[in-house]
Amino acid sequence: MTVLFADLTGSTELTDELDAEEVHALLGSFFDLADASVADHGGIVDKHIGDCVMAMFGAPVAHGNDPERCVRAALDIGRRVPILAAELGRSIGVHIGIASGEVMASGTGSARHLEYTVTGESVNLASRLTDKAATGEILISDSVHRALAERIDCSEVGELAIKGLAKPVKAWRLRAFRESARSGRQGFVGRHRELRQLEAALAQCRDTRRGRTIYIRGEAGIGKTRLLEQFQLKAERENFACHSGLVLDFGMGSGQDAIRSLVRSLLGLTGESSQEEIDAAAQKALEDGLLADERRVYLNDLLNVPQSTELRTLYDAMDNAARNRGKRATVAELVTRASGRRPRLLVIEDLHWADQMTLDHAANLAEKITGCPALLVMTSRIERDAFHELRRATIAGQAIVMIELGSLRPREANRLAAAYLDTLGEIAQRCVERAAGNPLFLEQLLRHAQEHAEGGIPGSIGV
Ligand SMILES: Nc1ncnc2c1ncn2[C@@H]1O[C@H](COP(=O)(O)OP(=O)(O)OP(=O)(O)O)[C@@H](O)[C@H]1O
Ligand SMILES: [Mg+2]
């Protein structure tokens, strides 16, 4: 699990200038900001302690990329606090510490007030790193650095003596996430049959100008996302525009994040776009004929753009079912018209966490894209399988292609472990056997074995 502490600085100094209520409001704004960043990246806030937020990534649900999510949340907080400071005209800042490792996670408290807390060395370390970080700095532990080494820009801080730890520990100062570092990871292995199947669907979609839906199912960490990344490279070379949405297990609460991010992406927006850019893109979509004018009210809802007075009246008069119908039709129209201009690859990831509304959108899209050049690819873990639900919801006879993603072959797993052979020798081989073809599990075992080069392989790792 990866633990983050983000501590606000400057608020104590302000207690002279401000009254208690103002300080409280200031803290509230900081907590709103930090909590939202954590939630948006799939973490959960463990608690607020004084001026500090403690958050964790990887429990109760592991995503497979929790260090990345955590680091992204930290950078997001680091970016937004100075903006908040400017808005409020107050000299506040934030310093952040991140560490990862095995922790004890347990439910405490009574039946009426259940608290989920974690304890362990990494919690202590993250907290101490926060203390050591200057305002505006993010310090990460060596384990976090190792997990993301090729994908982040950072500088070494050197060894720090940490209270409660016997030996000094290495820490790193984080600067940025390298967005285009796909190549920094282990090379892609295997999945030939699945890629051929996906590529055949792509070619067919291009040639017949009719889409279809592909559903990729497999256990956590088996390589669904990685397979899709590989496929996207191919699709881009074939002049498909790619758009993806990720269903977060917890997050902005609306449960429709995946569809909303698909819509934003179809309009050329990113998660970083400002409110003005979003407004302008919505306007342009109507002017360019990507959407009929009467869709505006639903588009505003999908983009979280405030309604005009006139549309507000219309919107308020509708019941929820009507709004949802309107939004589904709007998304479908957007996809149909956009794909008419350039073929599209639409990806909805992690459907096992989707709420009913997202599933309804997915089913509706699956039906509509049979008439336009757009390929819809969805992924899901096995535990809650939306496949049958989707199939029932789409029109009869409408096939959804299912790809069951199984274990990597031993030869392929060996190739993934090859980079570790020099340092780990025969232990790398034992990791391969133990991981039984799950690449995420294999990566974690190898990394762990390297950390404890003396040789112990842990009995289990939460995947
Ligand atoms: N074919 C592959 N070649 C090389 N590395 C792979 C391959 N498949 C997966 N990996 C690596 O294994 C890890 C887990 O893969 P990925 O995130 O794609 O799993 P997932 O099935 O999407 O898991 P989740 O259900 O948690 O989303 C990643 O670090 C990924 O780079
Ligand atoms: Mg995935």
- pLDDT tens track, the chain, 463 positions: 999 999 999 887 887 788 888 889 999 999 999 999 998 888 889 899 999 999 999 876 676 788 999 999 999 999 889 888 988 888 899 999 999 988 777 766 555 555 667 788 899 999 999 999 999 999 999 999 998 887 888 898 989 988 888 889 999 999 988 765 444 467 889 999 999 999 999 999 999 999 999 999 999 999 999 999 999 989 988 889 999 887 765 544 444 578 988 999 999 887 777 888 899 999 999 999 999 999 999 999 999 888 999 999 999 999 999 999 999 999 999 999 999 999 999 999 988 888 888 888 998 999 899 999 999 999 999 877 677 777 666 655 567 889 999 999 999 999 888 878 777 788 889 999 999 999 999 988 988 887 776 544 454 444 3
Residue 360 maps to a domain: yes
Mutation choice for ligand 1 from 247, 249, 407, 440, CB with most ligand atoms inside 8 A: 440
Q: Do 111 and 232 lie in a common domain? A: no
Give me the CATH number covering residue 300.
3.40.50.300
Structural domains counted in the chain? 3
pLDDT, position 217:
94
Domain that holds residue 14: 2-184
Positive or negative, the Cα torsion across 80, 86, 87, 88?
positive
Q: Do residues 31 and 6 make contact, with C-beta atoms less than 8 angstroms apart?
A: no
Residue 73 maps to a domain: yes
Contacts 24+ apart (CB under 8 A), 83-88: 84/29, 84/30, 84/33, 85/10, 88/26, 88/29
Nearest-CA residue for ligand 1 atom 29 is: 440
Centroid of ligand 2 to alpha carbon of 379 (angstroms): 7
pLDDT, position 357:
86
Residue 131 maps to a domain: yes
Q: Do 227 and 358 lie in a common domain? A: yes
Residue 459 maps to a domain: no
Give me the CATH number covering residue 77.
3.30.70.1230
Q: Do 296 and 154 lie in a common domain? A: no
Between 320-341 and 257-266, two packed helices, what is the crossing angle to 10 degrees? 40
Centroid of ligand 1 to alpha carbon of 160 (angstroms): 33
Which atom of ligand 1 has the smallest separation from the CA of 350?
27
Q: Which of 151, 9, 142 is nearest to 82 (CA)?
A: 9
pLDDT, position 110:
57
Mutation choice for ligand 1 from 66, 150, 225, 438, CB with most ligand atoms inside 8 A: 225
Q: How far apart are CA 424 and CA 8, in angstroms?
A: 42
Positive or negative, the Cα torsion across 306, 307, 309, 315?
negative
Centroid of ligand 2 to alpha carbon of 250 (angstroms): 15
Q: Please report which ligand is nearest the Cα atom of 192.
A: 1
Q: How far apart are CA 354 and CA 386, in angstroms?
A: 8
Q: Do 119 and 149 lie in a common domain? A: yes
> For the whole model, what pTM was predicted?
0.65
Range list of β-strands (E), 120-188: 138-141, 152-160, 169-177
Q: Do 81 and 169 lie in a common domain? A: yes
Q: Do residues 336 and 371 make contact, with C-beta atoms less than 8 angstroms apart?
A: yes
Q: Do 95 and 109 lie in a common domain? A: yes
Nearest-CA residue for ligand 1 atom 13 is: 440
Q: Do 343 and 432 lie in a common domain? A: no
Q: What is the greatest pairwise CA distance in the chain?
A: 71
pLDDT, position 253:
44
At residue 162, the 3 state secondary structure works out as coil
Which atom of ligand 1 has the smallest separation from the CA of 218?
21
Q: How far apart are CA 280 and CA 267, in angstroms?
A: 10
Q: Do 40 and 145 lie in a common domain? A: yes
Residue 462 maps to a domain: no
Q: Do 354 and 264 lie in a common domain? A: yes
